[in-house]
């Protein structure tokens, strides 16, 4: 075969691959109106991998991100639908390692318990899980926990390592120069310290010990054990097959065909309903979201920046616009703001805070916190009518920091020289080519102290506290949701279902009355993504998408004062 023929075949292959991908996206969008759910089925949920708050708003974004992560919103909605859908008679959770933190796990547990109120059964199936505490925490909400006969189950507690890079940076000739307010604002500590400061250690030990205590208490109660008994099992750590059953950690050790025997009703097997397929079932088709009143459910997810949102980045202008739209919509009786954010730009956070404050004057704004709502993530929450957090939510972190990395030492080692050319005495103050002067560090500290005072004032006003009361629990310190409630930083402990109930109550809607959920970001079809008005995500029609990314990078480089939480090692 000639070389040109090979080239032609390769081109044809990639053309067909692209065409198939586009066809899949189109079919996925149009599939939402007609889903074949059998009259007698069970919902099969693969609960593993990355867990997002909400799925990408369009099929193209999902395709470009490479994978479609499990979304807490879809899990919550699917179990709400399955609870009232007579066609779904049971649920099977296939549990694997989850990439999320404890508050999302707690949200899943609440959704499972809510489903069980229907009287239907939900089973947790585990094949092999050598390090499985958070996932086991979810499983303990189910009717039965099933382990493969040869499967390992590890319930060995929480822990991890926090890396510190200062010694490595010193060797490279790089200096991390940061000012922060105050001692618990540890976001830059991994670059500026060689180990824990006393405040950093106190904070981390407080968080981990509270998360562990909550885990032990919850799992022990679910498995009918005392807390000392469950702690003894955690200290042992690992159990295989029948040993896990003998220890009371699981109920059955079964193969897949034996699991299917559990999924029989009246002697007949139930048909499998895939989770992704059931996600496309319209809530109204099973009697949900049909009420006359409407609640806007606004997702505020990701690092906060000024400007418009991008995938995994929360744009202050975008989220503020969603809240403003809900405020001006007379059919929306309340706003439910779901937050999963470590913060970011103090200005971007304040843009959203302003819209929350304005909306609260017109209708109730209830916040529901997910894994993290700290620093800027708390900033956007603190003026809400009510704040609901999971007991494990990482929140608070009322504090700010600013600084830069100076690489002049590294450049000297590499033999790189530079010439200074500036017009204005402080034009190069944030340049990486030189360190701060003592006077510049003093001015920087004064600037972030001023921003911190604005943070304190807004928090005090929103939470009905004094400035000093907020300062006492601020100073950059992160709290669990349970601790934050005791400190009056949040009002209630619970998840989306509780927050929705509170929003209805605040709006004067009867507790038993169904409401329609107006979810933001809005889902966009394939055709809307390609030909419609540009929205959140990437615009593929022109260079605007690239320009948007470059603008975000520019804003990140321009942002000097941050309200952001530290990097957290997952407790496992």
270-277: average pLDDT: 97
Residue 541 banded pLDDT, cuts 50, 70, 90: very low
What SS3 state is found at 147? strand
Residue 566 banded pLDDT, cuts 50, 70, 90: confident
166-182: average pLDDT: 95
145-155: average pLDDT: 96
> φ and ψ at 386, to 5 degrees?
-145, 150
Residue 28 banded pLDDT, cuts 50, 70, 90: very low
Question: For residue range 71-82, what is the model confidence (pLDDT) as tens digits?
Answer: 999 999 999 999
Higher local confidence (pLDDT), 567 or 339:
339
Surface-to-core class of residue 212, CB atoms within 10 Å of its CB (0-12 exposed, 13-18 middle, 19+ buried): middle
167-190: average pLDDT: 95
- Decide: 83 and 115 in contact? Cβ < 8 Å: yes
What pLDDT sits at residue 534? 44
Question: For residue range 427-482, what is the model confidence (pLDDT) as tens digits?
Answer: 999 999 999 999 999 999 999 999 999 999 999 999 999 999 999 999 999 999 99
What pLDDT sits at residue 34? 66
Question: For residue range 81-137, what is the model confidence (pLDDT) as tens digits?
Answer: 999 999 999 999 999 999 999 999 999 999 999 999 999 999 999 998 888 999 999
Is-cis flag, bond preceding 281, omega within 30? Answer: no
> φ and ψ at 17, to 5 degrees?
-65, -45
Express as a percent the part of the chain with pLDDT over 70.
Answer: 85
Surface-to-core class of residue 466, CB atoms within 10 Å of its CB (0-12 exposed, 13-18 middle, 19+ buried): exposed
Sign of CA dihedral 221, 225, 226, 232: negative
Distances (CA, A) of 525 to 56, 232, 540: 11, 52, 14
Residue 57 banded pLDDT, cuts 50, 70, 90: confident
Residue 570 banded pLDDT, cuts 50, 70, 90: very low
Lowest-pLDDT range of 188-192, 455-459, 523-527: 523-527
Residue 526: pLDDT above 60? Answer: no
Helix (H) or strand (E) holding 10: helix 3-30
Residue 572: pLDDT above 90? Answer: no
What SS3 state is found at 54? coil
Distances (CA, A) of 184 to 11, 149, 334: 57, 47, 35
- Decide: 56 and 68 in contact? Cβ < 8 Å: yes
Lowest-pLDDT range of 41-45, 107-111, 161-165: 161-165
Higher local confidence (pLDDT), 298 or 548:
298
289-312: average pLDDT: 94
Angle ∠(538,319,484) on CA atoms, nearest 5: 125
In SS3 terms, 423-461 reads as CCCCCCCCCCCCCCCHHHHHHHHHHHHHHHHHHHHHHHH
What pLDDT sits at residue 558? 58
202-208: average pLDDT: 96
Of 315, 322, 278, nearest to 298 by C-alpha is 322
Residue 218: pLDDT above 80? Answer: yes
Residue 183's Cβ-side half-sphere holds a number of Cα atoms within 13 Å equal to: 10
Helix (H) or strand (E) holding 133: helix 133-139
- Decide: 366 and 491 in contact? Cβ < 8 Å: no
Strands 562-564 and 343-345: antiparallel
- Decide: 560 and 321 in contact? Cβ < 8 Å: no
What pLDDT sits at residue 22? 47
Higher local confidence (pLDDT), 132 or 16:
132
Residue 27: pLDDT above 90? Answer: no
Question: For residue range 417-428, what is the model confidence (pLDDT) as tens digits?
Answer: 999 999 999 999
Residue 530 banded pLDDT, cuts 50, 70, 90: very low
What pLDDT sits at residue 5? 54
Lowest-pLDDT range of 51-60, 342-351, 440-449: 51-60
Residues of the chain by 3-state class (helix, strand, coil), percent to 5:
45, 20, 35
267-279: average pLDDT: 96
Lowest-pLDDT range of 339-348, 354-363, 493-502, 521-530: 521-530
The position carrying tokens 């200074």 is 420
In SS3 terms, 353-378 reads as HHHHHHHHCCCCEEEEEEEEEECHHH
Residue 238: pLDDT above 60? Answer: yes
Domains of the chain: 31-156+237-283 (3.90.226.10), 291-400+430-564 (3.90.226.10)
What pLDDT sits at residue 505? 98
522-531: average pLDDT: 55
Residue 56 banded pLDDT, cuts 50, 70, 90: confident
Return mean pLDDT, the chain. Answer: 89
Residue 568: pLDDT above 90? Answer: no
């Amino acid at each position: 075969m000639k070389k040109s023929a090979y080239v032609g075949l390769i081109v044809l292959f990639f053309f067909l691959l692209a065409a198939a991908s586009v066809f899949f996206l189109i079919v996925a969008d149009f599939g939402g109106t007609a889903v074949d759910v059998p009259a007698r089925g069970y919902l099969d949920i693969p609960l593993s991998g990355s867990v997002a708050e909400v799925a990408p708003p369009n099929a193209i974004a999902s395709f470009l991100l490479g994978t479609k992560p499990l979304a807490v919103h879809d899990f919550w909605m699917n179990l709400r639908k399955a609870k009232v859908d007579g066609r779904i008679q049971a649920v099977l959770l296939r549990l694997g390692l989850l990439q999320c933190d404890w508050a999302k796990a707690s949200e899943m547990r609440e959704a499972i318990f809510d489903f069980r109120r229907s009287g239907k059964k939900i089973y947790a199936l585990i094949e092999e899980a050598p390090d499985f505490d958070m996932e086991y925490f979810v499983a303990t909400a189910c009717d039965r926990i099933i382990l493969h006969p040869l499967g390992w189950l590890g319930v060995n507690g929480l822990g991890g390592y926090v890396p510190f890079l200062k010694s490595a940076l010193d060797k490279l000739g790089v200096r991390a120069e940061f000012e922060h307010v105050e001692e618990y604002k540890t976001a830059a500590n991994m670059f500026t310290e060689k180990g824990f400061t006393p405040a950093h250690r106190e904070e981390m030990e407080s968080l981990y010990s509270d998360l562990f205590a909550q885990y032990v208490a919850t799992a022990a109660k679910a498995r009918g054990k005392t807390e000392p008994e469950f702690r003894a099992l955690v200290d042992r750590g690992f159990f295989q097959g029948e040993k896990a059953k003998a220890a009371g950690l699981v109920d059955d050790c079964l193969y897949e065909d034996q699991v299917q025997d559990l999924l029989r009703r009246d002697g007949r097997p139930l048909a499998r309903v895939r989770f992704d397929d059931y996600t496309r079932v319209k809530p109204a088709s099973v009697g949900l979201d049909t009420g006359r009143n409407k609640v806007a459910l606004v997702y505020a997810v990701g690092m906060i920046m000024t400007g418009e949102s991008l995938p995994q980045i929360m744009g202050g202008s975008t989220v503020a616009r969603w809240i403003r739209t809900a405020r001006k919509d007379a059919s929306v009786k309340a706003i439910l703001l779901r937050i999963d954010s470590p913060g970011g730009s103090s200005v971007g956070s304040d843009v959203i805070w302003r819209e929350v404050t304005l909306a609260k004057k017109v209708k109730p704004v209830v916040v529901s916190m997910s894994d993290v709502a700290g620093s800027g993530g708390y900033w956007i929450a603190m003026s809400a009518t009510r704040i609901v957090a999971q007991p494990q939510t990482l929140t608070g972190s009322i504090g700010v920091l600013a600084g830069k990395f100076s690489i002049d030492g590294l450049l000297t080692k590499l033999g790189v020289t530079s010439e200074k050319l500036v017009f204005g005495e402080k034009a190069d103050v944030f340049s990486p080519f030189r360190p701060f002067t003592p006077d510049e560090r003093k001015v920087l500290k004064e600037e972030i102290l001023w921003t911190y005072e604005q943070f304190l004032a807004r928090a005090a006003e929103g939470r009905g506290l004094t400035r000093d009361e907020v300062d006492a629990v601020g100073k950059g310190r992160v709290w669990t949701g349970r601790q934050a409630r005791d400190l009056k930083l949040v009002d209630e402990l619970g998840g989306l279902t509780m927050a929705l109930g509170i929003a209805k109550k605040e709006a004067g809607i009867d507790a038993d009355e169904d409401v329609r959920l107006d979810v933001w970001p809005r889902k966009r079809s394939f055709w809307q993504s390609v030909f419609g008005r540009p929205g959140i995500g990437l615009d593929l029609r022109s260079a605007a998408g690239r320009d948007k990314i470059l603008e975000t990078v520019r804003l990140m480089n321009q942002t000097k004062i941050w309200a952001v939480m530290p990097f957290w090692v997952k407790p496992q």
